Structure 1
């Protein structure tokens, strides 16, 4: 970064000085905003990630620490001769602009200076999903600012002579090259651009100053640039996952180039990609090109789905619903590009809920993974996990005969309420009922999502409120943070208190996110049995594997919808799942000294610049990459497999259902959650009375899919691809570690080793997107999930063979 030379002569601060006001410019790529780069923590984090990225090597700061970045920013902010601005395109951070007086800084006495010269450096942020035209928009906007607003007569640049990309960009903007110039640390190529040269250039007409602020209420994230980036990323994900599920069959073009075309050949998608184990596609997102009738066209995720709908098998009547989920997923992705900008290296060191709010992918496998149909733009900014805004839950009182509460053994209603609500809140709730002439003893209390109160309870249950079968009590005062499931909340005021999961009438990933009081009545008993089973297993105890129990479930059943279903006049449907909640243990009280929690999903997070949280943990751990992976697998894969082998017990162990406990940056153990709805017993083994609903008997190969599909395909193939992409561990060596982990587990207990074919050469390819594409309204029957599975042939097992690196043992 530019440093300044001492000088006592007063001169005007150049553009980008620390006190300069933000400037907005219209460009073909979107609205460019240039604002002072203040040396606060978020800005330093972001710039540090950019400057130390391999693509920023020309800046010579690959080894810089955050303190150096901060010092440089502070020096620029204080300098009368230089300054720095952070550039955002439609709200997305895209680069850093440094401006300086070349008569005083860097070039003093080294070139033929003219009065009115302004020096400039541009740093285009590294991007996981590059959007064409971004660098041109930045260049055009900055030149327009300097020449029109800041009064420069000529702009001077001195990039490294070897930096061909910036030379091409300079030429497009009208710069004249004057020749090589020796500067400290580099041979530069001096170039200048006057107003006349800029106006006559390709980029001259491409930017103009905007005097007016945006209209009040305009969503910051629904601009051209973030949506273009979101489309490109989701198109790449769709092509990768649909090819993985064999819905699409990319044609090789030679080398690492591939093509997907519509049946009539009119639309073509070309990209570079590599395939790893489990037919996992890693697409270079910057390589994606779409053509329509031979002409270049912008990638569009909705158009991709519509164009490929016949191959995807979406029922025509449900195509609109799926396209709406795609649109909502795009809107969510655009929001995160604007508002969730913390880089991976910072997230690897951040707190539990900071990381939870920063997740951007929704689900690694599903394409339409952030539907949330039913939330408006203001509500998304209020209730979504990425908004990271504290939420106070609404509490209702429900008449006891018209509601139910079920708890784990040893917990009664009074204990639950006392633990979750402060004495003053309990007194206020009782006073509210007494003030209405009601006896508090006649009611039980349950929390409700504020959106549900506003949009459902006050409308769908209006008669129940009028009868005082339901009574609004108010809020508890505790601040809660929405989790990635959107309807589950972490108590930020009192982290030791339980998670609260609420019903929410929002469509997301093939489900209306309700909760059934009838279905949940057995949930505490199921959790008691699972927790006891896990605790009694010596192998699981040695790995310190535990579960977070769902200790209580409450629901209202006194409405007309339940009465009609009970009388046989209708079926239990969405209306009977709108007023219920459950309480799940928090992981915070279970943490020991030096331990910190993170969701397993965070290991799959890749930031906008391509930085990986998992890679940052590996680098900071002090372990070799293979050793770090083995520690993770011993903590995660081994216990999940043990539960199947020894107890016929399967979970849904995807990334959001697993709390990873780290010691420093090293995985030490995991805690499983979301037990009641997701757990199953796959044999006819004896079960306690009252929890028979979790029995789903299947054959051994199907049961083994709880590891093959849910762990290997659902989590590990993505992590293996990320670590290989980061240059840390080739995928065959990753899978060799997984094979070694399973073999070590099987050797511990030979009596259970052959019960399920975990090391079989192949297993059935169970597909997630096929489920959603088949029925976008309800993917699976929760009462019989196995019967809903969709298959696409078989996959080679990457841990089969003598060395666990594939059927032939390769990669060991």
Structure 2
């Protein structure tokens, strides 16, 4: 009979050459090991006095134990270390360490130097041993999920090596002959450690922040910044051919431009940006990002030095023209940096196939075919809706720094940013009823609301947690909070309230939610027909701390009921299919000390929530819903979602656009002219209902915080706060600024640039929509003229540049606005 096969030794490359590990032969190698143990450098092994025979017996006992093993390590064939592995649940650490499946204990002894020290040997030994312990058994490793060690706390040299290998100290424990630093190292810990470099998958520390993606992100933001700041008349680029530039010029073919910036404040005389651009109505610039060149006078072949295109440098160079206060410039730059990082991350996800392309999205909203892993899981409206929500890139297309999110860490971004498409569970608090309020919309009751939003198991668990603390559940209201808010605010900012039992943490809820583009609004993925939940998230984003005021929340359901009743009773709005997603319940906590300070402050906006209707129950078979921001989305290849929908719809572009304007513009015009009612109708606040890729109707959301009644008509006393009486020219800005300038100029630029529809025809259809409304309502008297020759040019970026911490005074938004003259109306009467 042949002898049984002997497995080859485990071998791995290291910085000092290949290292191999094989079973220890006690008879052959006992003398060698005894010499190593007797060396003073091995004192912490406490075995220096053993004879060769005793060492042999010791190792033989280890080998004979089914829960232990002994190993010999070689470099270039020469023995250089001894190692032991053991089951910590059965050997040495029984009763001391809470072992998990996959735990493996380890000891290692590096041979004392003989004939000269070899730099890096100990690092190589630790690297090899960890690779051996954590490596797959199919590769000769031990297959551990976690390595456990217990070195003497006095052994500083081993502590340093353990740290370099990724070990984390759990605690100090008493063991025979020593006090030990009980430590563990997972596969992830080792792979991320200095000694683990090159083993397994490299840790994804910030994989999206790489040069190729950063260059594309910088170019996108520089192009956008030049376009939008020029649109707001902060400067005007010149034509590269030296001819005079006209601020209102329009040309659909690209023309070369140059923007020269005097940069003496930065220690450089001048910087120039050269690019090709198309120019459309409303002083809208579409810049070819690939054409951007940044240069300064220098010693190059053309007498210039080519510089990297950098969005942050552009803002620093433009500061005197932008008027950003010195003390707020770093804050604006941080918001821009976050926007840059988010842009790079979006590109990274799409290029990796983790986010759908425009073609895949269009397929989901026309044929219903799902061809992307990002949309896998079904062709149902909820799946398509949320895939599109996570894919969007321009929720606020006019703002340059529109993804600030100051306060989010990298892990927060990955968990909670809308474009990540991840799911989360809300954390729940019990708020003492005497310090909280619950506002209920029409037809709502407290019992019915909580009974629908929380399962019976959740409600029973919450009640049990209160009663176990000696508290009466009847004395409390349930308040959901974002997990970020729970982690960063509730147990810290409101520590006193938690300690006294006015706020009682109850734990996570059962349903999973997906963040929407507004970050703090969450869509129920477990039960999509249930309500959205909007919660406070105290991060700084786009000129505001994203809190939620209990004071504002108190009348919110009543405001929504009034608007919903008006819309329901208006035959014109009903014929257009226009609707609102009501915010039906709100809850807020006001028992904290911040509500008793002399001045209002952001801390009063950190513990409130509201529930808003989902659009899904309103869909007929074959209908889909998507955020209106999707119409301004271009994917990583430059393909526009709006263009894709038009081409896939099977109808003429004019017919497609007319259907969209009938669903979006016509109802907004009617609300303004018939009721003095203005919404905030940007892309994030509209849900479009599509069938076969064509817009059929629109649903407005974000009612309670963002509608305004601009006239003197009667209002219920409890919602009087929404009144903001304005002259007719300012009323018209509800369409001119928020619709024409905020949405339609961008859509017109996309469809014209893509060759779908000439810009002149686009605005002619807008004019026809306005005229048709007037013709169909001959008895409607209003001083608002939406076909006027010009309108006041309200500038949104200027607000953020002036004060990036708070763009406007919410109590008097009209007085906070900044104008840059007047703008030619693209639908002015001929």
- TM-score, normalised to structure 1, is 0.71
CA distance in 2, matches of 1:725, 1:379: 37
Aligned mates of 2:403, 2:234 — CA distance in 1: 21
Name which of 425, 431, 434 aligns with 2:464.
431
Q: Are 1:476 and 2:509 an aligned pair?
A: yes
Question: Counterparts in 2 of 1:664-683, with a 5 A limit?
Answer: 664-683=692-711
Distance 1:349 1:781 in 2: 43
The aligned counterpart of 2:215 is: 228
Aligned positions of 1:558-707 closer than 5 A: 558-562=591-595, 564-565=596-597, 570-707=598-735
Secondary structure at the counterpart of residue 656 of structure 1: helix
1:582 aligned counterpart, secondary structure? strand
With over 3 angstroms needed to count, the CA separation of the structure-2 counterparts of 1:227 and 1:263, relative to structure 1, is: same
Asked if 1:548 corresponds to 2:581, the answer is yes
> Are the equivalent residues in 1 in contact too, given 2:395–2:629 (CA < 8 A)?
no
Q: Give the paired residue count.
A: 588
User: How far off its partner does 1:241 sit?
Assistant: 0.4
Q: CA deviation at 1:349?
A: 3.1
The 5 Å alignment of 1:81-92 reads none
Q: By how many angstroms is 1:744 displaced?
A: 0.5
Q: Which residue of 2 aligns with 1:238?
A: 225
Match of 1:177 in 2: none
2:423 matches 1:390: yes
CA distance, structure 2, for counterparts of residue 771 and residue 349 of structure 1: 39
Q: What is the distance in 1 between the residues matched to 2:423 and 2:457?
A: 21
1:442 aligned residue:
475
Would you say 1:284 and 2:312 are equivalent positions? no
**Alignment equivalent of 1:332, drawn from 342, 352, 377:** 342
Shift in Å at residue 690 of structure 1? Answer: 0.6
Paired residue for 1:188? none
The aligned counterpart of 1:342 is 356
Question: How far did residue 752 of structure 1 move?
Answer: 2.3
- 1:283-432 to 2 correspondence within 5 Å? 283-293=287-297, 294-340=304-350, 341-350=355-364, 351-432=384-465
For each residue in 1:617-651, what CA deviation from the matched residue of structure 2 results, as whole angstroms up to 9, or x when unmatched?
Answer: 10111111111001100100000110000000000
SS at match of 1:465: helix
Pairing 1:267–2:271 present: yes
Local SS of the residue matching 2:732: helix
Q: Helix, strand or coil for the counterpart of 2:428? A: strand
CA distance in 1, matches of 2:515, 2:527: 15
Is residue 362–residue 370 contact of structure 1 (8 Å, CA) maintained in 2?
Answer: no
Instruction: Supply the distance in 1 between the matched residues of 2:362 and 2:688 (Cα, whole angstroms).
Output: 13
Match of residue 806 from structure 2: 778
- SS of the aligned residue for 2:744 comes to helix
**CA positional deviation for 1:782:** 1.3
Partner of 2:81: none
Paired residue for 1:6? none
Aligned with 1:334: secondary structure? helix
State the alpha-carbon separation in 1 of the partners of residues 358 and 519 from structure 2: 22
For residues 35-184 of structure 1, what are the structure 2 equivalents within 5 Å?
none
Q: Deviations over 1:363-405 (max 9, x none)?
A: 2000000000000001100011111111000010000001111
- The residue that corresponds to 1:64 in the other structure is none
Distance 1:753 1:785 in 2: 26
> Do the aligned residues in 2 keep the contact of 1:552 with 1:584 (CA within 8 Å)?
yes
Q: What aligned pairs does 1:201-220 form with structure 2 within 5 A after superposition?
A: 215-220=202-207
- TM superposition score normalised by structure 2: 0.70
Look up the SS of the partner of 2:773 in the other structure.
helix
Tell me by how many angstroms 1:448 deviates: 0.2
SS at match of 1:786: helix
SS of the counterpart of 1:660? Answer: strand
Preserved CA contact (<8 Å) 2:390 2:418 = yes
The whole-number CA distance in structure 1 between the counterparts of 2:785 and 2:237 is 31
State whether structure 2 residue 779 is matched by structure 1 residue 765: no
SS in 1 for 2:451: helix
1:725-744 map, 5 Å: 725-744=753-772
Counterpart secondary structure, 1:514: coil
- Which residue is 2:174 aligned to? none
Partners of 1:747 and 1:753 within 8 A in 2: no
Hey, what's the Cα distance between the residues in 1 that align with 2:404 and 2:697? 32
For 2:363 and 2:741, locate their aligned partners in 1 and report how far apart those are by CA, in whole Å.
27
CA contact (8 A) 1:635 1:667 kept: yes
Q: Which runs of 5+ in 1 are unaligned?
A: 1-209, 802-807
> Separation in 2 of the partners of 1:574 and 1:348?
41
Given that 1:746 and 1:753 are in contact with CA atoms closer than 8 Å, whether structure 2 keeps it comes out as no
Tell me the residue number matched to 1:75: none
CA RMSD of aligned residues (A): 1.3
- What corresponds to 2:532 in structure 1? 499
- Structure 2 unaligned blocks of 5 or more: 1-196, 242-253, 264-268, 298-303, 365-383
1:395 alignment partner, SS class: strand
Question: Structure 1 residues 771 and 214 mapped into 2: Cα distance closer, same or farther (>3 Å)?
Answer: farther
Q: Distance in 1 between matches of 2:220 and 2:394?
A: 10
Q: Which moved more, 1:780-789 or 1:736-745?
A: 780-789
Could you give the per-residue CA deviations for residues 48-82 of structure 1, whole angstroms, max 9, x where no partner exists? xxxxxxxxxxxxxxxxxxxxxxxxxxxxxxxxxxx
Counterpart in 1 of 2:743?
A: 715
Q: How much does 1:362 deviate?
A: 3.9
The separation in 1 between residues aligned to 2:781 and 2:684, in whole angstroms, is 28
> Who is 1:532 aligned against?
565
Indicate the SS of the match to 1:270: strand
Counterpart Cα distance in 1 of 2:465 and 2:408: 30
Residue 41 of structure 2 corresponds to: none
